[in-house]
Structure 1
Amino acid sequence: MHLNTQAPRPVRASNRTMGVVVAAVLLLVGGLILANPERAGAAADPVISRGKAATASSSETSALGPQNAFDGDQATRWASAEGKDPQWIRVDLGADATVSRVKLSWEAAYAKVYRVEISPDGSTWTRLANETAGNGGTDDWTALSGKGRYLRVYGTARGTAYGYSLHEVEVYGTPGGGTPPGTGAFTVVAAGDIAAQCTASDSGCAHPKTAALAQRINPKFYLTMGDNQYDDARIADYRAYYDKSWGVFKDKTHPVPGNHETYDPAGPLSGYKSYFGAVAYPQGKSYYSFNEGNWHFIALDSNSFDQKAQIDWLKADLAANGKQCIAAYWHHPLYSSGGHGNDPVGRPVWNILYGAKADLVLNGHDHHYERFAPQDPNGKATSDGITEIVGGMGGAEPYEIENVQPNSQKRISGPYGVLKLDFTDSGYSWTYVDTDGKTQDTSPKYTCH
């Protein structure tokens, strides 16, 4: 038992406690519980932090993000940047809750001095527990009494030369004060560069196969990343080709246009707008946004990134966003190792999204699959960067990989397929699945910024 002869404070039980003392304490606690039924109820409070949205002051790598401390898995962990104080990790409990206990499972890099705090709004913090001589292992703070929506562990002095690292942070208590805003996990299927001028009667025609795969996955909805119909996206071609494959689930699709949609002799985006109608223009423009769960999705028209109207709209849309997680998608990738290569048209948009702490960008244009490590708009790898995926393998002829870009982690050219994206209230991951149903690539698990 960690004893403090100064002012009373919550109890913190260390895993280095002598066995005989633990036995005596258990006997004592047993007697107290019998004498205090209210305390017995508190001891049985459930874990209310598991799987909830988490953030941190820093992460050593994207694979050691804060979500790992709330996944119930002792084999995963959060690790802060090394050699820097202070550092913190925070969880959003989803609604106001009464917290009675916090259990911390430290990795070898532990905190010597830290505090546990609670807040109703993520700005004003009240201290629940304070440690000034931490020695790692497991810290189990019981007999706490605090109310709030956000809880954080705030470290001010490291116990080692490394950083701060926690396998698990378990918050126990009783929810109250409203229903958590999250609506659980959902799956999305996405692809770009889809309908060549062929049909299922041609064995070499790929887009009917990617459509069948997409339909088997049965996602919440579908995204397209432009060049939906080749070669010049006439309405007659949309009806003859795209409509026979991906058009089967048009009412569940959130598309964006590509450069081929601008080639329509009837006018740029004429066939695209005629075919999709309000599906592609729900807000009266070729760019729009929508929400699902704890995610805000932004569909952009990269053919008109030079137009002030779209940029102003994007800034206003992000300013009004109330969701924690942000994904954006358009046609031309800022970074690509394929034949088209990097397209700087997207850099101003990346700057805006990065400033808003966006998480994910999906693109097409190059006909291959590629995933990048999180990076900033200038291509510098950073844990708070945006993750980009090129997913242009929906049915158009594949392009070769030509010039591998920095931060490119995986590249596949050849097998047609779709992105199967799995979203939660606090993070995301995905697989690239080919038309035979085989998983060609699996991403790391990422936490929303």
Structure 2
Amino acid sequence: MFRNPLQTSLLILATALALVGGLLLAWPGRAGAAADPLISRGKPATASSAESSSLGAKNAFDGSAATRWASAEGKDPQWIRVDLGAAATISRVRLSWEAAYAKAYRVEVSADGATWTPIAQESAGNGGTDDWTGLSGKGRYLRVYGTARGTAYGYSLFEAEVYGTVDGGPPPAGAFTVVAAGDIAAQCTASDSGCAHPKTAALARQIDPKFYLTMGDNQYDDARLADYRAYYDKSWGAFKAKTHPVPGNHETYDPAGSLAGYKGYFGSIAFPQGKSYYSFDEGNWHFIALDSNSFDQAAQIDWLKADLAANGKQCIAAYWHHPLYSSGGHGNDPVSKPVWKILYGAKADLVLNGHDHHYERFAPQDPDGKATAGGIVEVVGGMGGAEPYPIEDVQPNSQKRISGQYGVLKLEFTDSGYGWTYVGSDGQVKDTSPKYSCH
């Protein structure tokens, strides 16, 4: 076919443009890669620090350009992390920096929140918007790890957007997050650098769960109302309205009467059914809050049996203060054994306790301490802020023990199972549990 010179020139130009466009689309780090969906919007986020409670990590994943995360000023390194809810293949990360930007940082992924793999790295950042496309990363967690600030301030992001595909489809049905801890408010405040409960409270607030559980000894030493107001209220009290507490032995020491300060501070939150024990539902889960100071009273035992008989949920979690099994200083507490027998008979899944000031998880076991796949999983989470206790006598079926590192339990529930991480007050994951299915 005959072409005149103009037609030939246009054809050559079109071909060249197509080739260049194809190269740009295929080149990692360039905009224009295949469009994967945004998978990070509204997901739980944590950070190494926050400049204030209004500048928390969740602001970087809320879809609003009017909110932001800001780290503490003048400190390197700092990081922000998002939990995508399930394993995902990540193809793009878009970072919208505020004036306090990162000059050097890494984008990293992790399957368990403990071991991290870089998928992008910047060594000469200049703020604005960084759009990393053509990435190839797999993991449930993604974090931006800043190693050098671009200003004298901290790190600040208006938005961090993660694009890709969640492996196996959408997150499991009924998924929600809970934060839990026991043995919390020593008689100190944030003005004391050695005071731990403001630090665990800051971490718990950054996680921003569906609700919070406390496993007793919420306030030291005698848990009077004045003590609650002076100490607990200044830290964990920030999210009291979303808290489902239980009392510990220190709540019984109040000279004004057993549980007087506890009841005066929490009110109907701690007595929603008129007693110091109660239950509530979330998703496919039935949660039972018990008062282990009165396990010897028939009224609570009879109530527990009736409550379990009326339960229509597949999954059951119970929590109270005194653990049946513990490798810490208090050790095993037989006062809880009758309650374990009742829960075991009802095919309960999970028990959370405090009392001993350490973290410990146990393999599924029956009330007599025999390992069995159909048993109850027990977790001791007494590291909310009181002075740590050492590990003394390791119990059978104890799988992991941590003493000396304050932190919280970050529990992930679905309609058919659960798992958790123990997160230290430094924001680092110290332990990750197996994934369990409900009985």
> TM-score category by the smaller chain?
0.5 to 0.7
Matched, 1:184 2:190: no
Aligned pair partner of 1:242 in 218, 221, 232: 232
Aligned-pair CA distance for 1:346: 0.3
Alignment match, 1:327: 317
Matched, 1:217 2:207: yes
Letter in 1 for 2:297: Q
Matched, 1:392 2:382: yes
Separation in 1 of the partners of 2:394 and 2:411? 24
Aligned pair partner of 2:186 in 176, 183, 196: 196
Aligned pair partner of 2:272 in 282, 288, 306: 282
Alignment match, 1:295: 285
The residue matched to 1:326 in structure 2 has which SS?
strand
Separation in 2 of the partners of 1:256 and 1:184? 25
Aligned-pair CA distance for 1:184: 1.4
Aligned pair partner of 2:409 in 419, 427, 431: 419
Equivalent residue runs for 1:48-447 within 5 Å: 184-447=174-437
Unaligned runs of 5+ in 1: 1-70, 74-169, 171-181
Alignment match, 2:62: none
Letter in 1 for 2:367: P
The residue matched to 2:202 in structure 1 has which SS?
helix
Aligned-pair CA distance for 1:72: 11
Letter in 2 for 1:221: F
Aligned-pair CA distance for 1:281: 0.2
Letter in 2 for 1:370: E
Letter in 2 for 1:356: A
- Sequence identity percentage: 86
Deviations 1:261-302 (A, max 9, x none): 000000000000000000000000000000000000000000
CA contact (8 A) 1:183 1:294 kept: no
Letter in 2 for 1:290: F
Letter in 2 for 1:420: K
CA contact (8 A) 1:226 1:257 kept: yes
Separation in 1 of the partners of 2:262 and 2:353? 18
Separation in 2 of the partners of 1:392 and 1:296? 22
Separation in 1 of the partners of 2:284 and 2:241? 22
Would you say how many aligned residue pairs link Structure 1 and Structure 2?
Answer: 272
TM-score, L = length of structure 2: 0.61
Aligned-pair CA distance for 1:361: 0.0
Separation in 2 of the partners of 1:410 and 1:209? 23
Alignment match, 1:167: none
Separation in 1 of the partners of 2:351 and 2:241? 23
Letter in 1 for 2:403: S
Separation in 2 of the partners of 1:215 and 1:183? 24
The 1:183–1:279 alpha-carbon spacing in structure 2 relative to 1, beyond 3 Å, is: farther
RMSD: 1.5
Deviations 1:357-410 (A, max 9, x none): 000000000000000000000000000000000000000000000000000000
Letter in 2 for 1:280: A
Aligned-pair CA distance for 1:344: 0.2
The residue matched to 1:231 in structure 2 has which SS?
coil
Deviations 1:322-356 (A, max 9, x none): 00000000000000000000000000000000000
The residue matched to 1:264 in structure 2 has which SS?
coil
CA contact (8 A) 1:332 1:363 kept: yes
Separation in 2 of the partners of 1:273 and 1:308? 21
The residue matched to 1:379 in structure 2 has which SS?
coil
The residue matched to 1:385 in structure 2 has which SS?
coil
The residue matched to 2:312 in structure 1 has which SS?
coil
Alignment match, 2:30: none
